[in-house]
Chain A
Amino acid sequence: MVDVTPADAVPPAEVAEMELYHPHSWWTKYVFSQDAKVIAIQYSATATAIGMVALVLSWMMRLQLGFPGTFDFITPEAYYQFITMHGMIMVIYLLTALFLGGFGNYLIPLMVGARDMVFPYVNMLSYWIYLLAVLVLVSSFFAPGGPTGAGWTLYPPQAIMTGTPGGQDWGIMLMLVSLILFIIGFTMGGLNYVVTVLQGRTRGMTLMRMPLTVWGIFTATVMALLAFPALFVACVMMLFDRALGTSFFMPAIVEMGEQLQHGGGSPILFQHLFWFFGHPEVYIVALPAFGIVSDLISTHARKNIFGYRMMVWAIVGIGALSFIVWAHHMYVSGMHPYFGFFFATTTLIIAIPTAIKVYNWVLTLWRGDIHLTIPMLFALAFIVTFVNGGLTGLFLGNVVVDVPLSDTMFVVAHFHMVMGVAPILVIFGAIYHWYPKVTGRMLNEAMGQFHFWVTFLGAYLIFFPMHYIGLMGVPRRYNELTDMTVMTESAHNLNSFISIMAFLVGFAQVVFLFNLIWSIRHGREAGGNPWRATTLEWQTAETPPAHGNFGKELPIVYRWAYDYSVPGAKEDFIPQNMPGSSREPA
C-alpha cells in the first residue's frame, strides 16, 4: 500500500539563497523588523490585546442578558455597539489576524525550511497597516456617537441610518475604513505566505511532504486573497452610500416619516457580497485550525496522521466548495427561493470532506501512544466542540430546517461552537505546543491544566444549552427578552447560568495571559525539541531560532512530516531532515 521513496531523491538547489536584510539597530530588529518571527509576535500580541477588548465586551452583553434591568449603563445603543464590536473583532481582528498573521508568519518559513518570507519588507508593512486598522477600530469607541451598532454583518440600510448607533455618526465610517485598511494589510501578508509556500521551500520539501499546518494556512490564505476583495468592494460602496449619498445598497426609504434622498439600490446585493466573503471567512479561520490540530494530534499521539493525502485533498476541497455555499446565510433573506435547493445541496456536500477530517483525527488516536499533554487535551476538546458545532451546521445548512432556526439563539450557539470555541481551543493548544520554540521555555503545567478544564467545560456549558433557547424561538440580537412569550422563567434562569459560565471562562483567560508572561522567565527550560517532533521548526540550531531561522546550511528534507513510531527505528520519531528511507504514502 505504501511505496518506498528513495532516500536520496532530493533535487539540487535551483536558485541561490536569498540575501536577508540585516538589521543594525534595536528599532529595526524589534520594532520595524522584517523578520517573520518578530512580525508574527507583533501580530499575535496586537490580536490578543484587541481580543481582550472583545472578551470584555462579551461580558457586558452577558451581564445584560443574564441579569436584565440590573445594569443601567448597558443601554440598548450600548448593547448593540458591544455585540457588533465583539463579533467583528473576534472574527477579523483576532482570529484571522492570529491564524494567518501570527501562526502563518511564525510557522510557514520555519516549517518549509525557508530563511524568511520571500518579501520581508512588504511583510513588515502588512503588520503596520494591520495595527493602523486596529487603531482606527479602537478610535471609534471615542468618536462622537461611539462605534457602530449595526451588527457585525453591517447590513444596510440600517447600518447607515439614524436608528442604528453610529449609523449617521462616525461609527460606521470608522468601521468601514478600518476594514479597508485591514484588507490592504492582509493582502500584503497573504501574498507573502502564498509565494513563500510555492517558491520558498527548501530542497526535498515537496508539496506532499508539507506538514498539514502549512497546508491549512496556505489554503486559507489563497481563499482569503479571493474572498476579501468582495468585502473590500462592499465596504467602499457602503462608504460612498454613507458619505457621498450614492445608492448602491439604498432603495427608496421613508425613515421616521421622512423621505430619504436614496433610491434604486439593492440591500440584498450587499448581503451577497458580504457572504461571498463571509462564508469562506469561516473556513479561513477553520482550515489553519484543521491543519494545526492534525499536527498536534499526530505529534502527541506519536503516530502518523491517518490518511495524509485524503487530509490534503479534504482541505483543498473544502476551500474550493466554500466559495459556492455563501447564500446558506441568506435562506430567509428574501432572495429567490429556488436558490435554496442549490445552496442546501452544496452546503451538505461540504459536510463530507469535513467529516473525513474528523474521522482521520480520531483514527490517528486509534492504536496511538497518546501523551495527554496540554496541547493534546486542547486538540481533543477541539474535536468535541468542532463535531458538535459542525453537526448543528447540518440543521442550518438544510434550507427548510433553517427557516425556524435562522436568526435565533441557535445560530449564535452554532457559530460560536464551530468557529469561536473550536478554533480558539486549537489556538491555545498551538500556543502551549510552540511556546517552547518561541521562548525556549515551557508554559507552566498547573496553570495550563486549570486553563484547559475551565475553558473547555465552561465553553461547552455556555453554548450547548444556548441551542435550546434558540429552538424555543428566541431571536438573536435582542437586549430585552423580558416581554417575550416564548421565554419561560426557567429559560431566564438558564440565561443567568450561561452568563456566570461566561465570566468564569473569561477569568481562566486571565490566568492564561499571566502564564504567558510568567513563563518567559520562570518556565522550565525546554531545549530545542521538547515534544520530540519531526517537523523542521524543531530542528533549528538555536532556540528561539535566530534571524534566518536555520544555521549556515538550510535543512534538506528526506521524508514527510509524520514519521512517528516507524517500525525498527531507534526512536519514536524521525525528523524530516534525517537522511534515510521513508515509508511515506506516495
Chain B
Amino acid sequence: MAIALVLVLVVVGSVLFHFLSPWWWTPIASNWDYIDNTIIITFWITGVVFAAVVLFMAYCVFRFRHREGNQAAYEPENKRLEWWLTIVTAIGVTAMLVPGLFVWNQFVSVPSDATVVEVVGQQWQWSFRLPGKDGKLGTSDTRNVSAENPLGVIAGDPNGQDDVVVEAADLHLPVGKPVKMLLRSIDVLHDFYVPEFRAKMDMIPGSVTYFWFTPTKTGTFQVLCAELCGQGHPLMNGVVMVDTQEDYLAWLGEQQTFAQLSAPQQVGSAE
C-alpha cells in the first residue's frame, strides 16, 4: 500500500519541483527562443504522459492489490485499445517532432547577411579570426601552425592578410547582427558553447563546422567547452562580449590583422 502513496508523491513532487525550484535555464540572449519554445512543448507533452502513467499505476496498485479471494481478469489482448494507444502516441510524437524539425531547418539555414567569425580551439584556449574589409577569411591549414602563426593562416592567400586575429582573448560581437560561427580545432575535439545563446557545435581537427545565431542582448557571456578535450577541459573558459555597434567598432579598431602580426616575423625569417 505504501507504494501506491509513494507513486502519487513521486508525481506530485516532480511537478512541484519543476514549477517551484529555482533551477531553470539561464535567460536567453540570442534569437533561439524557438528552441526554448520547443523544449516547453516537450515538457508539457512528456509531463502529462509521465503523470498519467504513474498515477494510473498508483490507482491499479491500490485498487487491484491482492486480498483474500481476489482473482485477476483473463484478457490476453484487446486489439482496439492497443491500436488506439498506438495512434494517440503517434500523434503526441508528431506534435513534438514537427516543430522540432521546423526549428532545426532554421538552425541549419544560415541567413545570407550573416557575418563570419572563426573560432579556433586548442588545448585549452579559444582564439578568434574575423574577416577584414574584404569580408573574406583567408584559408588556413593546421600544418602551418607555428608560434608566429597560431591559427595556421596561409600567408600566400591575399584574403587572409587583413584578417583580424584575436589570440587567446575575448571575442566581441555586435548586437542584433546574425553571425555565422566557423569552428575549427588544431588538436582535439572541442565544443563552442555559450549557455545563453542556446547553440553549440563540436569543433573537429581537419574540418570546419558551423552554427549561426543573432545576439539579442548586450553583455558579457561565458564560453564553455562542451566536448571532453583532455584534463584541462573544465579550465577552457572564454568570454564573448556582445556590444553596441559603436563599442564593437571601437574594439575592432584596436585589434591587429594577420599582416600586422606577421610583419616582424617576416623580417626575422629573411635571415
The answer to whether A403 touches B35, judged by C-beta atoms less than 8 angstroms apart, is yes
The answer to whether A491 touches B143, judged by C-beta atoms less than 8 angstroms apart, is no
For chain B, which range describes its interface: under 10, 10 to 19, 20 to 34, or 35 or more residues? 35 or more
Bound complex: CA A370 to CA B90 (Å): 30
Query: Which residues of chain A are within 8 angstroms of B85 by Cβ–Cβ distance?
Result: 355-356, 359
Query: Which residues of chain B are within 8 angstroms of A479 by Cβ–Cβ distance?
Result: 234
For chain A, which range describes its interface: under 10, 10 to 19, 20 to 34, or 35 or more residues? 35 or more
Interface flags, B105-131, vs A, CB<8A=1, else 0: 101100000000000001100000000
Task: Determine which of A149, A158, A384, A572 lies in contact with B189 in the assembled complex, contact meaning CB atoms within 8 Å.
Answer: A158
Query: Which of A137-145, A394-402, A512-520 touches B?
Result: A394-402
Bound complex: CA A525 to CA B97 (Å): 53
The answer to whether B201 touches A332, judged by C-beta atoms less than 8 angstroms apart, is yes
The answer to whether A352 touches B73, judged by C-beta atoms less than 8 angstroms apart, is no
Query: Which residues of chain B are within 8 angstroms of A464 by Cβ–Cβ distance?
Result: 14, 17
The answer to whether B76 touches A304, judged by C-beta atoms less than 8 angstroms apart, is yes
Interface residue A232 (Cβ < 8 Å from any Cβ of B):
no
Query: Could you tell me which residues of chain B, from 16 to 59, have a CB within 8 Å of some CB in chain A?
Result: 17, 21-26, 32, 34-35, 38-39, 42, 45-46, 49-50, 53-54, 56-57
Interface residue A486 (Cβ < 8 Å from any Cβ of B):
yes
Task: Determine which of A349, A471, A478, A562 lies in contact with B23 in the assembled complex, contact meaning CB atoms within 8 Å.
Answer: A471
Query: Which residues of chain B are within 8 angstroms of A403 by Cβ–Cβ distance?
Result: 32, 35, 107, 198-200
The residue in chain A whose Cβ has the minimal distance to the Cβ of B143 is A252
A189 to chain B, nearest CB (A): 32
The answer to whether B224 touches A484, judged by C-beta atoms less than 8 angstroms apart, is yes
Interface residue B186 (Cβ < 8 Å from any Cβ of A):
yes
The answer to whether A334 touches B204, judged by C-beta atoms less than 8 angstroms apart, is yes
Task: Determine which of A308, A362, A380 lies in contact with B77 in the assembled complex, contact meaning CB atoms within 8 Å.
Answer: A308
Given contacts A407-B193, A562-B76, 7 further A-B contacts (CB under 8 A): A149-B231, A337-B108, A344-B97, A345-B97, A356-B85, A377-B3, A565-B74
Bound complex: CA A403 to CA B183 (Å): 16
Query: Which of A101-109, A169-177, A255-263, A543-551 touches B?
Result: A255-263
The answer to whether A460 touches B23, judged by C-beta atoms less than 8 angstroms apart, is no
Q: Which among B152, B228, B232, B237 has the highest number of chain A CB atoms within 10 Å?
A: B228
Number of A-B contacts (CB under 8 A): 330
The answer to whether B205 touches A80, judged by C-beta atoms less than 8 angstroms apart, is no
Query: Which residues of chain A are within 8 angstroms of B237 by Cβ–Cβ distance?
Result: 483
The answer to whether B93 touches A457, judged by C-beta atoms less than 8 angstroms apart, is no
Q: Which among B65, B188, B209 has the highest number of chain A CB atoms within 10 Å?
A: B188
B53 to chain A, nearest CB (A): 5
Interface residue B6 (Cβ < 8 Å from any Cβ of A):
yes
Query: Which residues of chain A are within 8 angstroms of B77 by Cβ–Cβ distance?
Result: 1-2, 306-310, 585
The answer to whether B104 touches A399, judged by C-beta atoms less than 8 angstroms apart, is yes
Interface residue A229 (Cβ < 8 Å from any Cβ of B):
no
The answer to whether A585 touches B76, judged by C-beta atoms less than 8 angstroms apart, is yes
Task: Determine which of A164, A257, A306 lies in contact with B231 in the assembled complex, contact meaning CB atoms within 8 Å.
Answer: A164
A314 to chain B, nearest CB (A): 10
Interface residue A530 (Cβ < 8 Å from any Cβ of B):
no
Bound complex: CA A367 to CA B78 (Å): 14
Interface residue B202 (Cβ < 8 Å from any Cβ of A):
yes
Bound complex: CA A307 to CA B206 (Å): 51
The residue in chain B whose Cβ has the minimal distance to the Cβ of A2 is B76
Query: Which of A10-18, A282-290, A385-393 touches B?
Result: A385-393
Task: Determine which of B17, B64, B65, B231 lies in contact with A77 in the assembled complex, contact meaning CB atoms within 8 Å.
Answer: B231
The answer to whether B86 touches A407, judged by C-beta atoms less than 8 angstroms apart, is no
Task: Determine which of A341, A469, A475 lies in contact with B226 in the assembled complex, contact meaning CB atoms within 8 Å.
Answer: A475
Bound complex: CA A377 to CA B3 (Å): 8
Task: Determine which of B66, B100, B183, B226 lies in contact with A334 in the assembled complex, contact meaning CB atoms within 8 Å.
Answer: B183
Decide yes or no: A344 and B123 within 8 Å by CB, A403-B198, A565-B71 being known contacts: no
Query: Which residues of chain A are within 8 angstroms of B228 by Cβ–Cβ distance?
Result: 80, 150-151, 155, 158, 477
Query: Could you tell me which residues of chain B, from 137 to 174, have a CB within 8 Å of some CB in chain A?
Result: 141-143, 145, 147, 152
The answer to whether A407 touches B226, judged by C-beta atoms less than 8 angstroms apart, is yes
Bound complex: CA A12 to CA B132 (Å): 84
Interface residue A55 (Cβ < 8 Å from any Cβ of B):
no
The answer to whether A400 touches B100, judged by C-beta atoms less than 8 angstroms apart, is yes
Query: Which residues of chain B are within 8 angstroms of A584 by Cβ–Cβ distance?
Result: 76
Interface residue A527 (Cβ < 8 Å from any Cβ of B):
no
Bound complex: CA A465 to CA B108 (Å): 32
Task: Determine which of A253, A332, A369, A408 lies in contact with B186 in the assembled complex, contact meaning CB atoms within 8 Å.
Answer: A253
Interface flags, A356-390, vs B, CB<8A=1, else 0: 10111011011111111000010010011001100
The answer to whether B53 touches A387, judged by C-beta atoms less than 8 angstroms apart, is yes
Decide yes or no: A391 and B49 within 8 Å by CB, A303-B73, A398-B97, A464-B14 being known contacts: yes
The answer to whether A475 touches B66, judged by C-beta atoms less than 8 angstroms apart, is no
The answer to whether B204 touches A407, judged by C-beta atoms less than 8 angstroms apart, is no
The answer to whether B187 touches A404, judged by C-beta atoms less than 8 angstroms apart, is no
Interface flags, B70-104, vs A, CB<8A=1, else 0: 11111111110110011001100100110011011
The answer to whether A406 touches B209, judged by C-beta atoms less than 8 angstroms apart, is no
Interface residue A523 (Cβ < 8 Å from any Cβ of B):
no
Q: Report, nearest first, the 6 A-B pairs whose CB atoms are least far apart.
A: A473-B195, A251-B206, A163-B230, A334-B209, A303-B72, A391-B46
Query: Which residues of chain A are within 8 angstroms of B183 by Cβ–Cβ distance?
Result: 334
The answer to whether B100 touches A257, judged by C-beta atoms less than 8 angstroms apart, is no
Bound complex: CA A383 to CA B49 (Å): 13
A252 to chain B, nearest CB (A): 4
Interface residue B252 (Cβ < 8 Å from any Cβ of A):
no
Decide yes or no: A387 and B206 within 8 Å by CB, A303-B72, A395-B42 being known contacts: no
B265 to chain A, nearest CB (A): 15
The answer to whether B200 touches A334, judged by C-beta atoms less than 8 angstroms apart, is no
The answer to whether B53 touches A338, judged by C-beta atoms less than 8 angstroms apart, is no
The answer to whether A491 touches B23, judged by C-beta atoms less than 8 angstroms apart, is yes
Bound complex: CA A398 to CA B15 (Å): 22
The answer to whether A307 touches B82, judged by C-beta atoms less than 8 angstroms apart, is yes
Bound complex: CA A395 to CA B40 (Å): 10
The answer to whether B142 touches A488, judged by C-beta atoms less than 8 angstroms apart, is no
The answer to whether B226 touches A468, judged by C-beta atoms less than 8 angstroms apart, is no
Query: Which residues of chain A are within 8 angstroms of B14 by Cβ–Cβ distance?
Result: 388, 464
